[in-house]
Chains A and B, each alone.
Chain A
């Protein structure tokens, strides 16, 4: 939708094209939003959380690439990808390894209310 030369004034033709792209993206986002609502009753009923996050990622991709103009912007694009990679690593380590092996249930305030201790 956009290029690195985004500081230039738009011609009428460029404006029309980019406006059309915006409309295409919003249709995609609306369809994915509709999918969010029907998913628990339509498919992957046992894995609602994973299915919902997958749909959210698809929506996020559309927003970041088109609405936030990252398409074709390599420097910021790689910067964002690297940051997301770091976040994913932390998530995988903490949620995948640490949380399921939580060892302090007996004395922790995050597994039982303070009054129980």
Chain B
């Protein structure tokens, strides 16, 4: 069923009918609203980066040592995966706008697949760290362990931020599945695609956050032994 806009009619005290201004066709308003939401995301992760930077100043040497123990290969693979997924999502939107709905859906499925691979690799990485005794409320991160305090802070923030980023990836997968449902229902079309546009923006901000998370955590300690 194609998306159809049915105007709302209000009647004034004289019985005269007026069409209520609808928001369905307000593409720019929808985009602006989503950008405001994304700025709240930037504030949330920005606050975490601020805390990270503060602790980094107080425990510079510990942060470099802890960073050098992270698996840069897996982190790097995930960086490339997210990068390609941003491309597939963007190409999908282009295909939708050009009228290629089937190709557009294929691109969304490709993005979901890449997102799942990202999560699997992140899982492997966390498991590896767990086996080395590094995990929240576990072994080396306990108050009683002899690991230098700065390193405990680094790993605590690492799990918190990459975990929160992972949650955003999961939300993104959910949004993409919902988007496919809306496309199948004819609610997202080549002429009415603000939902697709905004979900693509969401995926870009998830990618953008990783662009800073990766070098801050994984690359800071590169060239320091490990």
Seen from chain A, the residues whose Cβ lies within 8 Å of a Cβ on chain B are 4, 6-7, 9-12, 14-15, 18-19, 22, 26, 29-30, 33, 36-37, 39-41, 45, 48-49, 52-53, 55-56, 59-60, 63-64, 67-68, 75-76, 79-80, 83, 87, 90-91, 94-95, 98-100, 102, 110-116
Q: Does B31 count as interface, using CB distance less than 8 angstroms?
A: yes
Give the complex CA separation of A64 and B211 in angstroms.
12
Contact B216 A91 (CB under 8 A): no
Given contacts A10-B97, A56-B215, 13 further A-B contacts (CB under 8 A): A7-B28, A36-B214, A48-B223, A59-B211, A67-B90, A67-B207, A76-B31, A76-B35, A80-B39, A95-B57, A111-B59, A112-B149, A113-B152
Task: Give the dominant DSSP class at B's interface.
Answer: helix
Which residues on A sit within 8 Å (CB–CB) of B119? none
Q: Which residues of B contact A40 (CB under 8 A)?
A: 219, 222-223
Interface pairs (15), CB distance under 8 Å: A10-B94, A15-B95, A36-B79, A37-B219, A40-B222, A48-B219, A63-B208, A67-B204, A68-B204, A79-B35, A83-B39, A94-B54, A102-B58, A110-B55, A114-B143
A36→B217 CA distance, assembly (Å): 13
- Chain B residues with CB under 8 Å of A55's CB are 215
Which residues of B are found within 8 Å of A26, using beta-carbon distances? 83-84, 87
